Structures are given as structure tokens and as C-alpha cells.
Amino acid sequence: MNSDEYSVMNNKDLEAEIHPLKNEDGKAPDNHENCAEKEGLCRKPTRLSQLSRWRTAAFFLSLFLCLIVVFAFSFIIPCPVRPVSQRTWNRKYDRAVTYEFLAIEDVNEDKVQDVIFVFKDTNGSSSFNRSCSDEGLSAPCVFVTAVSGTNGSTLWERPVTEDLLWMECAIEQLGGAQSPGCLVIGNPELLTAISPHTGEVQWRQFNSFGANYTVVTPLLKIPDVDGDGVQDVMIFTTAGDETQSFIYSGKKGEQIGTSGRLSLGARPGYLMHVTKAGSYYVLFNTVNSLYGYSLKDLYSMATGVESKLTSLKQDPQWEKKIKSPTLHIPLLSSGDIRYLVKVPGRSGENILVVKSDMAELLNGQTLDSLWTVNASHILREPVFGYYTPDVLHIVLESGVGPNMKKVMIVESGSGAVHWELELNSRAGSPRPATLNTADHRSIFLFWGEYQAQANETGSKAARQNLYLFHPSYPNVLLELNNSSDQIVAFDAVLFERSRHACYVLLTRPQSSEGPGWVSVAKQKLKEDIPGSRVIWLSQVAGDSEQYIRDRFFRMRFSSQIWNA
């Protein structure tokens, strides 16, 4: 083979590699001939090509649907607008008087908690221009007001009575509504049910408490006894040594029966307890004694009719424990009883009896004593928090000397004191408050003056300081704020779910007993932390003060109630 022939062959091979579908004449092979010879091989690529076209169509269709969904959520369907909450706000009322009442509820249903409080004035705020005469009341009168938790603006305002004896919210199905309501006991003799969402009166009834009476608080919410499907209300009053009971329909406010009479002495306290058997009992405490009445017996006293309701049954174990006919419940100590408080437990609710010389926890089913702790001269009703993860603790404040108090954090299961601190205390300082944190513990907020400042004089002498404590730093206090006004009511609140931790203050002038400036204010906790004062309770400081502030500033909160 000569060189020309070899070159021609190489060119053909190269062209064959570049154009494999061409024959030697530069034409594509005859498909008809191939299909005739290999019919099966010709049909197979056709099915594959059809399947490929279906896959391509499905892909583009899915992509088109995804784009439509993205477009719809981005431009067509509006996203919910989240209210922008101010970090702090303050509402003031001139020439007014306020009462020790503060309720926190989502009034306008914007998922932000709002504030309900009470003041007495001739006219309401300028926002609504309401007056006492609008409700046929003499001036001055009591106004119930709801202000927005986001910015403090007035949501509604209503004059309800000439003078306030007691007010209580979170009463389920009051007035037959689906949401809880508020009940106002006024003077003259008037009961008024109000919707917390609108301020509208759901019902108004005159009471028959008689003359020279005192309302025993709080109100008692009892199961439905008149068959209208709504829980009812029992109210106790005292006149001298006699205690009377009255039952009112929660739906319409009508009195059920007449009244019952009990001889318990002057100004008893009480607590309703539900046993494991589902039986309702009311515990009454006098100066140094504890008595137990079944709700079934109280119903019969008030109506004169023997109850046949299944919800009003008696617990045989409690009936044996209560010594008839005195209905007396024995206690370890004979000290004066100050408070009765229900304490959640793993096997049901127990009963904390706070006396003048100790606090005693009773088993909620057997009424046996579980533990006692020495705590004399308890100043205020206890509150609850979590010092260790998921373990409920009780916060007690006891007087330990002139203008001195001790704050104690006690484990509810054992009665062990896990933390305590002595503070200077001003008369009338509010009780502590707690907020649950994301680490299954709580922050504790309390008022007073740390003992190291006791020798300081000047303008601080009339002030009350607010302190923040968290169990992760047991030797550290943060001094957040102070107030020279008289604090009428105080509470710590998560204004949104698991966030926006704030405290609310209801104040009046320190030296004023008559009308003056009344203020309700919200303050976000994190606004106070950067400028707070770090107090070391131990001799040796640990981390730097700025590190402590940063840790508290980054703390996360939780709306969840942990297991007791």
C-alpha cells in the first residue's frame, strides 16, 4: 500500500469517528432497511423517547406549581402582622385613687397580653370621655380600664360602681360567654359581670348581703349547681362573728337559694380544695384553727335543699379526718393562721398552711403533715418558682426585725430551704414575682434594700429597689430599678408567648391617702439590665460584672409550666 492510499484510509477512519451515523458515501444509513431487519430494536427506542417526554413534562409542571405557591405566599396571601410592642410605657391619671387590683389578659386578642386595672375619679381618661353619670352613678365613681400591652393606649373604659369592695377576673364562662369574665363587687350593694374583651356589662344584680358586712375574699368558683351549664359563684361575708354564704348564677347573676350561716369568728379565710375522689371541700381558717366543710353541706345551708348533684359528693377519707360535729382539722402548731395556699404536687394538690410561727404543708388527700419550716411573721401570700430544674419551690417573705425581712426559697417537696437573704423592707412593699426561664428554672423578682446599703442616707431612704435573682448565680443580685412612689400592685409578665419579659407597676404618691397621680407602667426587663448594679453576696466575686449583665441579658424565657 502506497502512501496516498494509506492517507485516504486514515481520512475515512477519522471521518467515521467524527460522523459515525454516515455511511461511506456520506449519507445516513437507511432506517427503513434497519427497521425491517431489526423491528424489535427499532420499537424500543420509541418507548424510551415517549417516556422521556412524559418525565420532562412532569418536571416542568412541578416547577410551575412550585412557582405558583411561592408567588401566592409572597405576594397574594398576606402574612400576619406582628404587633410592635414598646419596651416601656406609662399612663398617668390626675386626681385619682387606685385599688390593689391588677389583671393581665389578652383583651384585644392580638396575642399580646394587656393590663386591666381600676381607678376612682369624677371622669374617665380623655380617650373615651366617659363619666359616672353615663351609668347613673354619683361622682366620683370607680372605672375599670383596659390598656394595651403594646403601647399603653386605652382599649376600653367603663364606670361600674361608686366604691369597690372586690374585683376578680379569669372566672370561666361568666355571663355564659366562651371566654372568662370579671366580676365586680361594689358598694352600694351591686354585683356586675364584665367582659374583659369589650368592657360590656354581661349582667348586673343587686345583692342581699345585709348591713355592716365585709366581703371575704377571694370569690369561690363552684361547679354548676343550677343546671344552666355554667359554673356558679359563692360569696362569703362576715358581720361580727357570723359568716354568711351566698350562691349566684354565673350565667345570669341570679341568687340561688337564700343564704347559709356559719359560726367561724371574725374575718375567716378560706380555700377550696378538690380531693382525688373529685369531692369539693372548703377549708376555713380562723385565728388559730382550721375547719373543713364539704361543698355539698354549704350548698344545703344556702338553699335549704339536699343536693342530689353528682358533682357535689363527699369524700369518705376526708369525712373521717374531719372531726364532727366541730369539723376541726388538727395541726401541729397552734400559731395564728395567715394564709391557705394550694401547692401543686406530682400526685395532686397539697395545702400550705402559713402560720405566725411556721409554714406547714398538708397532704391534699390525707390531711397529714408532710413538712414544716420555721418562718415567723409571714408578710405576704407566698408565690411559686423553680430554683432547680422542674422542681417547684415556694417563695416566703418573713419579718425578722423592725423594717427587716428575710426572703426564703423553699422546696415544695421536702421543705428544705435552698436560698435565703435578708433585706431592709419598707412598709407596704409588694410581694415577689417569678418568670419561668428556658432552662426549666425561674428568675425571682423582689423589692427591698440590700443590707449593705443600710447605713446610706439621703434620697434613697424613701426608695424601694427591685432585685433580680437567678439560681444559676446564687451569689449575685442585680439591682434593676427603684421607686419612691407607693407601689399598689406589681407583677412580672411575659407579654408574648415565651418572650417580651416585663414588669408592671401600679403606683400612687407615697404620702397621699386622697386623690393624686395614679400611674400604671410597663418596663421591659432587658431595658434595666445594661444599667443595673451587680451585687456580690459572697466575699469573693466570680465573673466580671459586665459578663454577669450579658448573661442575664441573653436569658431566654418560657411560658410553659414545668412539672412539679
Mind listing the pLDDT tens digit for each residue in 336-377? 899 999 999 888 899 999 998 899 999 999 999 999 999 888
Q: What is the DSSP letter of 3?
A: H
Of residues 380 and 210, more confidently modeled: 380
Q: Return the H-helix or E-strand segment holding 255.
A: strand 255-263
Residue 217 three-state SS: strand
Q: What percent of the chain has pLDDT over 90?
A: 56
Residue 127 has pLDDT above 80, yes or no: no
Q: Are 82 and 172 in contact (CB under 8 A)?
A: no
Q: Are 360 and 371 in contact (CB under 8 A)?
A: yes
Residue 24 has pLDDT above 60, yes or no: no
C-alpha cell recorded at residue 385: 418558682
Q: According to the model, what pLDDT value does residue 80 have? A: 62
- Cell 393624686: give the residue: 516
* Average pLDDT in the chain: 85
Strands of the sheet with 280-285, listed across from one edge: 269-274, 280-285, 290-294, 328-329
Q: What is the pTM of this model?
A: 0.83
pLDDT digits (tens, 9 = 90+) for 472-499: 999 999 999 988 888 999 999 999 999 9
Cis peptide leading into residue 188 (ω within 30°): yes
Q: According to the model, what pLDDT value does residue 322 have? A: 85
Residue 302 has pLDDT above 80, yes or no: yes
CB atoms inside a 10 Å sphere around CB 136: 8
Q: According to the model, what pLDDT value does residue 189 have? A: 81
CB atoms inside a 10 Å sphere around CB 507: 21
What average pLDDT does this structure show over 195-223? 91
Residue 286 has pLDDT above 80, yes or no: yes
Helices (H), 392-477: none
Residue 438 has pLDDT above 70, yes or no: yes
Q: According to the model, what pLDDT value does residue 426 have? A: 83
Residue 10 has pLDDT above 70, yes or no: no
Q: Are 258 and 252 in contact (CB under 8 A)?
A: no
Q: According to the model, what pLDDT value does residue 274 have? A: 93
DSSP string, 327-394: TEE--S--SPEEEEEEE--TTS-EEEEEESSEEEEEPTTT--EEEEEE--SB-S--EEEEEETTEEEE
pLDDT digits (tens, 9 = 90+) for 146-196: 999 999 999 999 999 999 999 999 999 999 988 999 999 998 888 999 999
C-alpha cell recorded at residue 68: 405558583
Q: According to the model, what pLDDT value does residue 81 have? A: 66
Q: What is the DSSP letter of 72?
A: I
pLDDT digits (tens, 9 = 90+) for 31-58: 444 444 444 444 445 666 666 778 888 8
> Between the CA of residue 118 and those of 10, 96, 124, 143, 175, what are the distances in Å?
105, 10, 11, 6, 21
What average pLDDT does this structure show over 276-285? 92
DSSP string, 129-150: --BGGGGT-PSSEEEEEEE-TT
Weakest-pLDDT range from 265-269, 378-382, 506-510? 265-269
What average pLDDT does this structure show over 6-18? 48
Residue 282 has pLDDT above 50, yes or no: yes
Please report which confidence band the pLDDT of residue 411 belongs to, taking 50, 70 and 90 as the band edges: very high
Q: According to the model, what pLDDT value does residue 77 have? A: 63
Q: According to the model, what pLDDT value does residue 541 have? A: 63
For residues 61 and 496, what is the distance between their CA atoms, to the nearest angstrom?
A: 42
DSSP string, 115-129: EEEEEEESB--TTT-
Residue 176 three-state SS: helix
Weakest-pLDDT range from 73-87, 137-151, 372-386, 506-520? 73-87
Q: According to the model, what pLDDT value does residue 48 have? A: 61
Please report which confidence band the pLDDT of residue 463 belongs to, taking 50, 70 and 90 as the band edges: low
pLDDT digits (tens, 9 = 90+) for 52-66: 778 888 888 888 888
C-alpha cell recorded at residue 190: 351591686
For residues 375 and 201, what is the distance between their CA atoms, to the nearest angstrom?
A: 44
Q: According to the model, what pLDDT value does residue 345 have? A: 86
Q: According to the model, what pLDDT value does residue 21 have? A: 45
Domain extent listing, the chain: 383-453+461-563
Q: Return the H-helix or E-strand segment holding 320.
A: helix 316-321
